[in-house]
C-alpha cells in the first residue's frame, strides 16, 4: 500500500520499490514506474499500484481419482506481475488518493484465477490415476501437469502474470481410507518387527547356547586340567615321599652307622674302663688285703704284747684296770645310791677274791 501524505489540498505519494505506480491526470499518463515519489492533486489524479514482487499463493482443493477416492491436494504457486501496464488495464489496481488502499481486490482475483486453473489441470490428471498410483507418483505428475497447464494458459500472459514455480506438497486421501491403507503397511511393518524380534531372540538364544557351550567346554577343560594338576600333584607328592623316604633311609643308615660306631666306641671305652676298674679294684683289694694283713699282724702283735703285759701283772691290778675300763665305758652317773645289802655283798665278794689271790700267791 502506497504511503500518502496530505498538505493543504495536495497529496504526496511515496511508493515502495516493489510497487509499480501509474499516475493519470486527464487521461494522460504522468508517472509510471516502481518506487516513485511525487505530489498530486486528489481531485484530478487517477492512481494505480501494481505489485511486481514474487508472491506465494497457497491452495488446497479436493479431487477424485479413477477409483472414485477423494484426495486433498496441497500446492503452492509462485507468481509475479511481469507487465504492470497490462495488469493495470485488465484488473482493478486503482488506489484511493487519500488512504493509498486498493479500491478493489485485485490480488484475490489473481488468486482465484490461478487456483481454478491449477485445480482444473490437477483434476484432469488425477481423474485418470488410481489412488495407489496417485499416492506413489501423484505428487510429481500433478506438479508437472499444473506447471505445464499454467505455462500454456493464454489468459495469464494476457493479464500480465508470469508463473515462477509450482510446488505440490502432498496428496492425502480421506482419513478412513488413509487408515485402511496404513493397515497393511503397519501389519507388514509389525510382521517385520516381529520377525526381527524373533530373529534377534533366535540370535540371542544361539549366542546364549554358544556361550553355554563355551562355558561348558571351559569347565571341561578346567576339570581336565585340574585332573592333570591332581595327577601331577600326586606324582610330585609320591616323588617327594620317595625322595623323603630315600633321604630318611640314608639318614637312618647314617644314624645306625653312627650309633654302631658310638656303641662300639662306648663298648670299647666301657671295656677299657672296666679293665681299668678291675685292675684298680684288684690293686685296691691287694692293698686292702696287705693293709688288713699288716693291721691284723699289728693287732696280733699288740694283742700278744697286751697279753704278755697282762700276764705279767697281778690279779688285783687287772681287776683295777677292768674296773677302770668299765668305768670309762659306763654312761655318766651323777649320783649313786648304795644300799647296805649291796655293799655287804660286794665287800664279801672282794674279800673272797682277795683270799683266793693270796692263796694262789702262797
Cα gap 109→132, rounded to integer Å: 35
Give the DSSP H or E segment for 72: strand 70-81
257, 259, 321, 330, 357 from 325: Cα distances, Å: 71, 67, 6, 9, 21
Q: For residue 187, give the 3-state DSSP assignment.
A: helix
pLDDT along the chain (362 residues), means of 10: 83 89 90 90 90 92 88 93 91 88 90 91 90 86 91 90 92 84 80 86 87 89 87 86 85 83 82 81 78 76 69 64 64 60 67 69 61
Q: What is the dihedral of CA 260, 265, 270, 273, to 10 degrees?
A: 180
Q: How far apart are CA 113 and CA 102, in angstroms?
A: 19
Q: What is the pLDDT of residues 236-280, one digit of tens each?
A: 888 888 888 888 888 888 888 888 888 788 878 887 887 888 788
CA dihedral 254, 255, 257, 259 (to 10 degrees): 160
Amino acid at each position: 500500500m502506497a504511503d500518502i501524505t496530505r498538505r493543504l489540498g495536495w497529496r504526496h505519494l511515496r511508493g515502495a520499490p516493489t510497487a509499480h505506480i501509474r499516475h493519470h491526470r486527464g487521461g494522460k499518463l504522468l508517472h509510471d514506474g516502481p518506487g516513485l515519489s511525487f505530489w498530486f492533486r486528489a481531485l484530478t489524479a487517477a492512481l494505480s499500484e501494481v505489485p511486481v514482487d514474487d508472491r506465494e499463493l497457497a491452495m488446497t482443493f479436493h479431487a477424485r481419482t479413477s477409483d472414485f477416492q477423494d484426495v486433498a491436494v496441497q500446492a503452492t504457486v509462485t507468481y509475479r506481475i511481469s507487465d504492470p501496464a497490462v495488469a493495470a488495464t485488465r484488473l482493478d489496481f486503482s488506489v484511493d488518493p487519500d488512504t493509498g488502499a486498493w479500491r478493489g481486490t485485485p490480488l484475490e482475483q489473481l488468486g482465484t484465477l490461478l487456483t481454478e486453473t491449477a485445480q482444473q489441470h490437477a483434476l484432469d490428471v488425477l481423474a485418470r490415476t488410481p489412488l495407489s498410483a496417485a499416492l506413489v507418483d501423484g505428487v510429481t505428475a500433478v506438479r508437472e501437469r499444473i506447471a505445464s497447464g499454467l505455462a500454456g494458459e493464454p489468459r495469464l500472459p494476457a493479464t500480465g502474470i508470469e508463473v515462477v514455480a509450482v510446488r505440490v506438497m502432498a496428496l492425502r486421501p480421506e482419513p478412513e481410507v488413509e487408515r485402511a491403507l496404513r493397515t497393511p503397511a503397519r501389519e507388514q511393518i509389525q510382521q517385520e518387527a516381529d520377525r526381527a524380534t524373533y530373529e534377534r531372540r533366535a540370535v540371542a538364544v544361539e549366542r546364549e547356547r554358544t556361550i553355554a557351550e563355551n562355558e561348558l567346554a571351559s569347565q571341561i577343560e578346567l576339570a581336565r586340567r585340574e585332573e592333570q594338576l591332581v595327577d601331577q600333584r600326586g606324582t610330585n607328592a609320591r616323588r617327594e615321599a620317595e625322595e623323603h623316604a630315600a633321604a630318611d633311609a640314608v639318614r637312618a643308615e647314617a644314624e645306625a652307622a653312627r650309633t654302631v660306631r658310638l656303641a662300639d666306641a662306648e663298648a670299647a671305652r666301657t671295656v677299657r674302663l672296666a679293665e681299668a676298674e678291675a685292675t684298680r679294684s684288684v690293686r685296691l683289694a691287694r692293698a686292702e688285703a696287705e693293709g688288713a694283713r699288716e693291721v691284723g699282724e699289728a693287732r696280733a702283735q699288740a694283742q700278744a704284747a697286751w697279753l704278755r703285759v697282762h700276764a705279767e701283772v697281778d690279779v688285783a691290778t687287772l681287776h683295777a684296770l677292768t674296773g677302770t675300763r668299765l668305768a670309762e665305758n659306763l654312761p655318766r652317773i651323777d649320783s649313786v645310791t648304795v644300799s647296805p645289802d649291796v655293799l655287804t655283798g660286794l665287800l664279801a665278794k672282794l674279800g673272797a677274791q682277795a683270799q683266793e689271790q693270796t692263796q694262789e700267791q702262797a
